[in-house]
Every structure is written in C-alpha cells, then in structure tokens.
C-alpha cells in the first residue's frame, strides 16, 4: 500500500540533515530516484542545457572581459589552455578558439562601450540562469510565485556572481603553479594538484547559493542545501572526468556529426551538468521531507514505507 507524503517548505524546530538516521537516508535516496522519473528530470535537464549552451559564450566573454582588465591577451590565451585540462579535446579546442579570438580583438580599457557590452553579455547569459532557476523550482516541486522583474533580477544577480567566481577561479588556478615553482619541483606539483580541490570548493559554494536563492520558497535554511551541494559537486567532477575519458578514447562524434561534433559534445556535457545540479535539488527536497512529512498539500509523492515506519523516522529525527 502506498501512502501520500507532503513536501515541506522547510524543516521545523531547527532540525537539519544531521538528524536523519542511516535508514532515513536510504529512504531519501529511494524517493529521490522516484522523483527523477515523476518530475521528468532528464527532459528538464535537456531544456536547461539548451539554454545553457546559448548562454555559455556570452558568460565566458563577460568573464574574459573582466579578467582582461588585469591580464594581456597572451596571458589570457595561455590560462584558457591551462583551464581546459580535463575537458574533452573537441570541447576544449572549440572553447579555446572562440575565446582566443575574443581575447585578441577585445579592447580591455574601461570605457563606456566596454561597460555596455559587458552588461549586455551578462544579460544574455542570465537567460541560461533563468532556465536553471525554473528547473530547480520543478525539482523542489515549487510553483513560481515571484514576479517577472524579481526573477529576472535574481537570474542576473546569480549570473554576475557566477562570472565573478569564474574570474577568481581562473586567477587562482593559473597563479598557483607559478607560486609553487618558487619552492622547487615538489612545490609546483603540490600547487598543480591543489587547484582541483579549490575548483570543488567553489563549485560547492556556488551550488549552495543557487539552491538557497533559486527556488521560490519561503524562509529556506542554509543547512538544507548541503546534501545536494555535496552530492552534485562529487557527481559533477567524477562525471566530467569520466565523460572526458569516454569521449577522448571511445567516442568519434566528428564522423557522425561532422563539423558539429564539438558542439554536440559540449551540449552533452552541459546536459550532464544540468542533470547533476537538478538531482542535487531533488535530494535537498527529499532530505527535508524525511524530517518533516507534514506540509504543503500541493506537492505530493508516494512512499512505500508504512505509516509506523515513517512516523518512527520522523520521531528519531527529533
């Protein structure tokens, strides 16, 4: 027999993910996979990836514009190549060619025209962020209640934050090997390795901010974004590495799609990224539900657990 369990807007009484016992996390995982099917998460991720590829190049141009204020085009080109390590060869080649062209032709002086082009690029990139906001609302089973202007400003603000994070990460990841070189070969090796944990931390913090502010929810709490943020970061880094290995060694998209092969690979990688981010949002919602199964009656899913089992877990969390 199935029982309907309602989705809470937030967990009450100051409880958090640490209050969920091990059997409860098993239930959370089982319900999360059910929600992937019921929310058509793969289709939603495809839509987010489509808008993401339209927004990717304006976002990268905006980031390059800001970074170009403190770096020469030659330095930018070298650092772009360093940052592309870990991506499929076809994707890295596509991104490097596009950005090197921009870096070579762009005026890095702080002028009115530069500021206008930067704002326009950020606005174009924010459309991809808006699609992600809508996808996260679906993952949380929330209906958008904020006005059009508020949603657009939210998407724009998140986009600006993402671009600034990219600039900081590029600066750190490219500067660390040079700093480590002052301490010999061992220092250079340590500096090269530590770049990737820094990327993971930035990804973790960025996802936490998105999960906190993107969904249309009342009084969300920071502690409830941690399960999805950690899971999405780990899955994204592992999935991206595995995807790059498969594409570089086993896939031959150029024979199938011709000159569009690199674009197809990029779109698949964005699809992987979108799916993992939305999966993290599903996990956050289900972990909240595990602590408090009594809330908004408009968001319902099915649970195979008997009522006594569910009440026992909720009591344990208290």
Q: Where do the H-state alpha helices sit in 250-306?
A: 253-257, 261-291
Residues 244, 217: Cα–Cα separation, whole Å:
36
- Asked whether residue 24 is domain-assigned, the answer is no
- Asked whether residue 309 is domain-assigned, the answer is no
Residues 286, 11: Cα–Cα separation, whole Å:
11
- Asked whether residue 6 is domain-assigned, the answer is no
Residues 86, 93: Cα–Cα separation, whole Å:
12
Classify residue 246 as exposed, middle or buried by CB count within 10 Å of its CB (0-12, 13-18, 19+).
Answer: exposed
Q: What angle do CA 101, 105, 108 make, to 5 degrees?
A: 120
Which residues form the domain of 210? 41-140+147-292
**What pLDDT score was predicted for residue 31?**
92
**What pLDDT score was predicted for residue 112?**
67
Classify residue 70 as exposed, middle or buried by CB count within 10 Å of its CB (0-12, 13-18, 19+).
Answer: exposed
**What pLDDT score was predicted for residue 3?**
46
Total domains, the chain: 1
pLDDT tens digits along 158-184: 998 988 887 777 767 666 666 666 677
Residues 183, 240: Cα–Cα separation, whole Å:
31
- Asked whether residue 160 is domain-assigned, the answer is yes
- Asked whether residue 298 is domain-assigned, the answer is no
Q: Six-digit token pair at 39? A: 């929310």
- Asked whether residue 27 is domain-assigned, the answer is no
Q: Where do the H-state alpha helices sit in the chain?
A: 22-38, 41-67, 73-83, 89-105, 112-139, 148-180, 184-213, 226-249, 253-257, 261-291, 307-317
Are 67 and 78 within 8 A, CB to CB?
no
Residues 290, 56: Cα–Cα separation, whole Å:
36
Distances (CA, A) of 24 to 18, 168, 239, 308, 313: 11, 38, 26, 13, 6
Residues 70, 91: Cα–Cα separation, whole Å:
26
- Asked whether residue 23 is domain-assigned, the answer is no
The stretches in the chain having pLDDT less than 70 are 1-14, 67-87, 99-114, 171, 173-182, 251, 292-318
Q: Six-digit token pair at 211? A: 């999960």
Best CA proximity match to 114, nearest among 77, 162, 66, 75: 66
Chain centroid to CA 188: how far? 29
Find where tokens 């085009």 sit: 73
DSSP 8-state symbol, 220 = -
Q: Six-digit token pair at 40? A: 């058509």
- Asked whether residue 16 is domain-assigned, the answer is no
């Amino acid at each position: 027999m199935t029982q309907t369990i309602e989705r809470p807007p937030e967990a009450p009484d100051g409880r958090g993910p640490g209050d969920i016992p091990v059997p409860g996390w098993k239930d959370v995982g089982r319900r999360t996979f059910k929600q992937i099917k019921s929310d058509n998460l793969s289709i939603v991720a495809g839509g987010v990836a489509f808008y993401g590829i339209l927004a990717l190049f304006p976002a990268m141009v905006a980031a390059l514009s800001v970074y170009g204020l403190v770096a020469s085009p030659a330095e930018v080109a070298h650092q772009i190549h360093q940052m592309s390590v870990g991506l499929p060869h076809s994707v890295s080649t596509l991104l490097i060619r596009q950005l090197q062209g921009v870096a070579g032709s762009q005026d890095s002086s702080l002028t009115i025209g530069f500021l206008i082009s930067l704002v326009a690029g950020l606005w174009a990139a924010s459309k991809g962020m808006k699609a992600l906001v809508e996808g996260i609302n679906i993952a949380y089973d929330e209906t958008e209640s904020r006005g059009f202007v508020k949603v657009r400003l939210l998407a724009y603000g998140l986009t600006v934050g993402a671009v600034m994070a990219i600039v900081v990460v590029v600066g750190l990841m490219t500067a660390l090997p040079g700093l480590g070189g002052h301490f010999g070969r061992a220092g250079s090796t340590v500096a090269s390795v530590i770049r990737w944990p820094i990327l993971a931390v930035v990804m973790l913090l960025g996802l936490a901010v998105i999960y906190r502010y993107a969904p249309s929810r009342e009084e969300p709490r920071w502690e409830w974004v941690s399960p999805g943020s950690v899971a999405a970061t780990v899955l994204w880094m592992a999935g991206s590495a595995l995807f790059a290995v498969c594409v570089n060694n086993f896939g031959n998209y150029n024979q199938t799609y011709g000159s569009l092969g690199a674009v197809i690979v990029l779109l698949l990688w964005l699809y992987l990224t979108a799916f993992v981010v939305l999966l993290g949002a599903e996990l956050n919602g289900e972990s909240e539900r595990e602590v408090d199964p009594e809330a908004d009656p408009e968001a319902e899913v099915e649970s195979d657990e008997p009522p006594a089992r569910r009440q026992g877990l909720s009591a344990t969390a208290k």
